Amino acid sequence: MLAPTPDTDLDVATTAAAPVPAAPTVRYKRKRLGIGFWVCVAWLALIVGVALLAPLLPLDDPNRTGVGPARMGPFEDGAHVLGTDALGRDMLSRVVAGARVSLAVGFMSIVFGLVLGGLIGLVSGYYRGKLEATLMGLMDALLAFPALIFGLAVITFVARSNANIWHVTLTIGVLSVPSISRIIRASTLTFSQREFVQAARTLGAKDGRILRREILPNVLPPALSFSLIAVAVAIVAEGGLAFLGLSVAPPQPTWGGMINEGRQVLRDAAHVSLVPSFVMLLTVLALNYAGDALSSKLQVREGGV
């Protein structure tokens, strides 16, 4: 018998030692949220905390007139850090009281939109067919209708001349349903075709369990990150309605209402409009940045071979 040549031995050893290609994997992007995200979280925590604890804080009555000289600018008096408005009301206490309304409307309206829009998106993305066409047709019709005109119509019809926080919340919540439902429907379409959902169907799991246990936990994180951006839009929408006099009726302060009141004294006391505008700007920017950062953090990508 002939002995194997050295070249043959080398080829066999090389073939045996050749690495086996690894199977593709799915992994999350390891991306840090960054210092900007935590600065935004700190600002939002401050605003929410101050709004919640407002009754316990040593602040003047936001509706009490004459607590200081009228139209006093910020930092002119240690007792009124942000100054006073045209009626001598403390600006700091009014901004805090306005935060209670603006944040409550922003968060509650998006919770309403997330529940109703999430249900519509899950059902239409999972069952497809005529049900999807009907539900998405309704959402498209609602999206095509001008949001401002719809809000004005609902507030005028439902609230008449005495709007309260629930009227405004319901109006903005209904306006948020189409966008949220389309976001969740798109995610549901993706996850409903994944292997773990197909395996659950093969094992005999019912549709309700698949939606609740398999699809919803995967759809919820991107929906929540989008909801932060939606809260920012809702706060701006409430401010716009308040600026037009269609939000919570005076004397309850809101950020949009304070901006509207400051129009009359812009030349002599611009801070009456600028202070609530600046606080609203920072809050909306923080919500948008935090939502974008979380959205990037929760992205999933296919691993290479």
pLDDT tens, residue by residue, 77-109 = 777 889 898 888 999 999 999 999 999 999 999
Distance CA 270, CA 272 (A): 5
Residue 24 burial (CB count, 10 A): 9
DSSP characters over 243-289: HTT-SSPTTS--HHHHHHHHGGGTTT-THHHHHHHHHHHHHHHHHHH
How confident is the model at residue 30, as a pLDDT?
52
Q: Name the phi and psi angles at 28, rounded to 5.
A: -85, 145
Q: Which long-range contacts (CB under 8 A, 24 or more apart) does 155-162 make?
A: 155/241, 155/246, 156/246, 159/246, 162/249
If one compares 248 and 176, the residue with the highest pLDDT of the two is 176
Sorted by where each starts, the structural domains of the chain and their CATH numbers stand as: 28-59+77-302 (1.10.3720.10)
If one compares 193 and 184, the residue with the highest pLDDT of the two is 184
Q: Which pair of structure tokens corresponds to residue 41?
A: 């979280």
Q: List, for residues 257-274, the tens digit of each pLDDT value.
A: 899 888 888 888 899 999
The amino acid that residue 81 corresponds to is V
Q: For the ranges 28-32, 87-91, 222-226, 299-303, which has the lowest average pLDDT?
A: 299-303
Average pLDDT over residues 160-170: 78
Residue 19: pLDDT over 50: no
Distance CA 152, CA 246 (A): 8
Q: List, for residues 112-144, the tens digit of each pLDDT value.
A: 999 999 999 999 988 888 888 999 999 988 888
pTM of the shown model: 0.80
